[in-house]
C-alpha cells in the first residue's frame, strides 16, 4: 500500500505517493526526476547516491523514501543559486576534481557538509569526510585540492563580507 509523504527538496515542498519499500534514491530519481544522485552499487559501498538529509550526508540507496517525510533533502541540483555555481562547483572545475562526473555530485555534497561544520579543514579532515565515497577516475588528489580551494574561497568571501 502506498503512503503519502511531503518532503522539502532543495527548498521546495514536494509530495508523493510511494511504496514503503521505495528507496530514497529512487524517490529522488524516478519520482521527482532529480537524476543528479546516481546509483553505483547495491551495498552502500560507493557513495555516489549521497544526498543531504537535514544537512547530513546520507547514502540515499540505504534509506527509504518514506523516512524523509517531513524532512529536508538537498541534492546536487540545489547547489547552484540564482544561476550561479556554488563555490564547491567552481572549485571542482578549477582543480580538475572530476573526470567522468559520476561520483561528483555526491563528493560535492559531502564537501559542503564538511565545510559547513569545519570551514578550515586539514587534508586529513577532507580525506576522512570523503572516505565513504569512491572515485575511480581521479585518484582523489584533485578532489582534495578542490575542497581545499573551495574552503579558501569561502573563507576569503566571508572575511571580505560586511559583518
Partner 1 sequence: MTATEETAAESAPEKPLDWLGQSIKRKEDDRFLAGRGHYIEDIDLPNMLHMAILRSPYAHATINSIDTTEAAALPGVVAVVTGELLAQHNLAWMPTLSGDTQAVLATDKVRMQGQEVACVIAEDRYVAHDALELIDVDYEPLPAVVNPFAALEEGAPLIRDDKEGQTDNRVYHWEAGDAAATEEAFLEAHKVVAVDTHYPRSHPSPLECCGCVADLNPASHRATIYMTSQAPHAIRTVFALVTGLPEQNIQIISPDIGGGFGNKVPVYPGYVVATAASLLLGRPVKWIEDRTGNLISTGFARDFHMKGELAVARDGTMLGVRVKMLSDQGYAYADAQPSKLKAGLFHIVTGSYDLPAAHVVCDGAYTNKAPGGVAYRCSFRVTEASFLIERLVQNAAVELGLDPAELRRRNFIQPEQFPYTSATGFVYDSGDYETAMDMALEMAGYDELRAEQQRRRTEGGKLLGIGLASMTEALGAGPSRDYDILGIKMFDSAELRVHPTGKAILKLGVRHQGQGHETTFAQIVAHELGIPPDDILVHEGDTDNTPYGLGTYASRSTPVAGAAAAMVSRTLREKAKKIAAHLLEVSEDDLEWEHDRFSVKGAPSQTKTIQEIAFAAYTNHPMGMEAGLEGVHYYDPPNLTFPFATYVVVVEVDPETGEWQPIHVVAIDDCGVRINPMIVEGQIMGASPRASPWPPCRRSPSTTTATASGPTSWTT
Pick the stretch among 41-49, 63-71, 114-122, 147-155 that binds partner 1 (CB under 8 A). 41-49
DSSP secondary structure string, 37-60?
A: S----SSS-S-TTEEEETTEEEEG
Residue recorded with cell 580538475? 96
Shorter beta-carbon distance to partner 1: residue 38 or 59:
38
Residue from 86, 71, 81 nearest 24 by CA: 71
Q: One symbol per residue from 61 to 90: x for binding partner 1 (CB under 8 A), - otherwise; what is it?
A: --------------xxx-xx----x---x-
Q: Does 96 interact with partner 1 (rule: CB under 8 A)?
A: yes
Sign of CA dihedral 120, 125, 131, 132: negative
Question: CA angle 132-136-142, nearest 5°?
Answer: 80
Q: Does 2 interact with partner 1 (rule: CB under 8 A)?
A: no
Shorter beta-carbon distance to partner 1: residue 104 or 148:
104
The residue from 7, 138, 148, 154 that contacts partner 1 (CB under 8 A) is: 138
The size of the interface with partner 1 (CB under 8 A), counted in residues, is: 49
Residues lying near partner 1 in the complex (CB under 8 A) are found at 19, 21-22, 26, 29-30, 33-43, 45-46, 48, 75-77, 79-80, 85, 89, 92-94, 96, 98-105, 108, 134-142
Amino acid at each position: 500500500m502506498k503512503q503519502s509523504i511531503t518532503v522539502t527538496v532543495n527548498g521546495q515542498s514536494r509530495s508523493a505517493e510511494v511504496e514503503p519499500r521505495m528507496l530514497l534514491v529512487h524517490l529522488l530519481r524516478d519520482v521527482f526526476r532529480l537524476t543528479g544522485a546516481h546509483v553505483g552499487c547495491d551495498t552502500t559501498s560507493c557513495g555516489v547516491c549521497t544526498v543531504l538529509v537535514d544537512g547530513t550526508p546520507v547514502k540515499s540507496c540505504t534509506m527509504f523514501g518514506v523516512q524523509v517525510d517531513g524532512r529536508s533533502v538537498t541534492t546536487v541540483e540545489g547547489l547552484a543559486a540564482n544561476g550561479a555555481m556554488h563555490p564547491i562547483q567552481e572549485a571542482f572545475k578549477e582543480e580538475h576534481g572530476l573526470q567522468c562526473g559520476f561520483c561528483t555530485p555526491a563528493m560535492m555534497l559531502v564537501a559542503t557538509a564538511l565545510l559547513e561544520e569545519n570551514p578550515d579543514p586539514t587534508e586529513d579532515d577532507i580525506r576522512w569526510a570523503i572516505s565513504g565515497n569512491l572515485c575511480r577516475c581521479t585518484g582523489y588528489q584533485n578532489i582534495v585540492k578542490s575542497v581545499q580551494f573551495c574552503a579558501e574561497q569561502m573563507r576569503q568571501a566571508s572575511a571580505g563580507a560586511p559583518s
